Amino acid sequence: SVPDSGPAMAKPQVAVAPVVISKLSVNAPEFYPSGYNSGFAESSFEDGCDGYLTLTEYVQDFLNHLTEQPGCFETEIEQFAETLNGWVTTDEALQELVELIYQQATSVPNFSYMGARLCNYLSHHLTINPQSGNFRQLLLQRCRTEYENRDQQFHAFVLFLAELYLNLEIKGTKGQVTRAEVLQAGLGELLNALFSNPVDNNLICAVKLLKLTGSVLEDAWKEKGKNEMDEMIQRIENVVLDANCSRDVKQMLLKLVELRSSNWGRVHATSPYREATPENDPNYFMNEPTFYTSDGVPFTAADPDYQEKYQELLEREDLFPDYEENGTDLPGAGDPYFDDIDDEMDPEIEEAYEKFCLESEHKRKQ
C-alpha cells in the first residue's frame, strides 16, 4: 500500500529571469581595436592629402603605413608621388620630404630597403627641379652630411647607404642605367673605417654590408681595373688571425671569405641548370648541419630516419636552453643576414676550419 502523503503538494514555482534591456544600438559608431588606424582600412591613400593639414603629417603617415604594410608599395606609390607633385612646390618642402624619408630609413629597423626603393621611385617621378637641386641631389647631399658626421647612427646609416647604392638608378641620356659613383666610393671608405676599428659591432656591420653589396662592388671595381676587393679580403683574413673579436664574429668573417671564394654564390650563366639531388650531386649533404639525439647519437639529413629523429629533437623542451626569445644572446641572431651561422666549434676543429678557408682564398687568388 502507498502511504498517505498528507495534504496535497503545492505545484513547484518556476523562476522567471528578469528581462534585460540591451543598450546596443544599430546606430552606434563602428568599433576599432586599440591602436587601429581606420585611415588605412579602405582606400588608404587613394584620396591623396585630403584630411591632412601639413606635408609632414601626410608623408609621415605614409612612411609608417609602408613600414607596417610593405606589400602596399606597388599599389599606392603612384598616388603618393602624384600627391607630392601637387604639394611639394618649394625648395623648403623638398628638403623636408628628403629629411623625413632619410630619418625613417635610418632610425626604423628593416625600413632601409623600402626606403631605398621609395627614394628611387621619387627620384624619377617628382617633377620639382629647383636650383638648389632635385630630389636625388638633395638626398645624396643629406647622405654626405651624415657621412661627415657619422658618429651617431653610424651602422644604420651604412646599411641604408648600401641599399641606396643597389636601388637608386641613374638614367643616362642614352637610356643606360648606372649607379651613383659617389655612393660606391663612400662604401669603400666606410668599409675601411669599419675594419680600422675591428670591434664586434663594426665587424658585424661590415659583414652585412659585404653580403649585401659585395658582388656588385667587386664587379664595379674590376671594371675600373681595381683589386680593392682582394685588399678587403686580405684585411678580413688579418682580422681573423689577429683581432681580439669574439669567436662568433670570426666565424661570420670566415663565412664571408668562403662566400666570396664561390663568386658570392653566383652561378655562371653558361652552366646548364640541373636541380641538385642526393643521386646526382655527391656534395648534396655536405653543408647540412649535424644534429644529436637525446642519447648523443649524431645524425644528418642523409640518414634514412632523419625525419623521425628531427621531429623528436623539436619536441625536446631543452632544445635551446640558453637562447632568449628575442634572439639577442648571439650577435646577429634572428637576422636574415646571418641565418647560416654555425654552432660553436671545438677549438681544434675551428682552427682547422680557419686554416682551410684562408688557404682556399689564397688558392683562388693564384
Three-state secondary structure call for residue 126 = coil
Q: How many CB atoms lie within 10 A of CB 194?
A: 23
* Per-residue pLDDT reduced to its tens digit, 77-116: 999 999 999 999 999 999 999 999 999 998 998 899 999 9
Q: By the 8 A CB rule, do 156 and 146 touch?
A: no
Distance CA 155, CA 146 (A): 12
Q: Which of 105, 126, 123 is nearest to 170 (CA)?
A: 123
Q: How many CB atoms lie within 10 A of CB 327?
A: 12
Q: What is the DSSP letter of 262?
A: T
Structural element, H or E, at residue 333:
none
What's the mean per-residue pLDDT of the chain?
A: 76
Distance CA 88, CA 134 (A): 11
Q: By the 8 A CB rule, do 67 and 104 touch?
A: yes
* Per-residue pLDDT reduced to its tens digit, 273-287: 556 565 555 444 444
Give the highest mean pLDDT range of 4-18, 232-246, 338-352. Answer: 232-246
* Per-residue pLDDT reduced to its tens digit, 129-163: 888 899 999 999 999 888 877 655 788 888 898 99
Q: Which of 310, 286, 288, 284 is nearest to 297 (CA)?
A: 310
pLDDT higher than 90, residue 69? yes
> How many whole angstroms from its chain centre is CA 55?
28
Distance CA 48, CA 208 (A): 37
Distance CA 193, CA 155 (A): 11
Backbone angles phi, psi at 177, to 5 degrees: -110, 125
Question: Residue 224, CB half-sphere, CA atoms under 13 Å: how many?
Answer: 12
Cell numbers for 9, please give them. Answer: 503538494
For position 50, what pLDDT does the model report? 65
Is the CA virtual torsion 93, 97, 102, 108 positive or negative?
Answer: positive
pLDDT higher than 80, residue 197? yes
For position 9, what pLDDT does the model report? 52
For position 21, what pLDDT does the model report? 61
For position 132, what pLDDT does the model report? 87
Cell numbers for 60, please give them. Answer: 609621415
Sort residue 133 into left (φ over 0), alpha (ψ -120 to 50) or beta: left
End-to-end CA distance of the chain: 117
For position 350, what pLDDT does the model report? 72
pLDDT higher than 70, residue 26? no
pLDDT higher than 50, residue 333? no
Q: What is the DSSP letter of 38?
A: G
For position 155, what pLDDT does the model report? 87
pLDDT over 90 percentage in the chain: 31
* Per-residue pLDDT reduced to its tens digit, 206-237: 999 999 999 999 998 898 888 889 998 999 99
Distance CA 31, CA 208 (A): 44
Q: Which of 123, 129, 199, 204 is nearest to 164 (CA)?
A: 123
Please state the length of the chain.
366
pLDDT higher than 70, residue 67? yes
Tell me the whole-structure pTM to 2 decimals: 0.50
pLDDT over 70 percentage in the chain: 62
**H-state helical runs in 91-199:** 91-107, 112-125, 135-148, 154-167, 181-196
Distance CA 305, CA 299 (A): 9
Of residues 271 and 84, more confidently modeled? 84
The pLDDT of 227-251, averaged and rounded, is 88
For position 64, what pLDDT does the model report? 94
For position 303, what pLDDT does the model report? 62
Adjacent-strand bridge partners of 177: 171
Distance CA 63, CA 101 (A): 8
* Per-residue pLDDT reduced to its tens digit, 288-324: 566 666 666 665 665 666 677 767 766 664 444 444 4
* Per-residue pLDDT reduced to its tens digit, 153-191: 788 888 898 999 888 888 877 777 788 888 888 898 999
Cell numbers for 364, please give them. Answer: 683562388
Number of helices (H) and strands (E), helices first, in the chain? 12, 4
Q: Which of 192, 218, 223 is nearest to 205 (CA)?
A: 192
For position 171, what pLDDT does the model report? 81
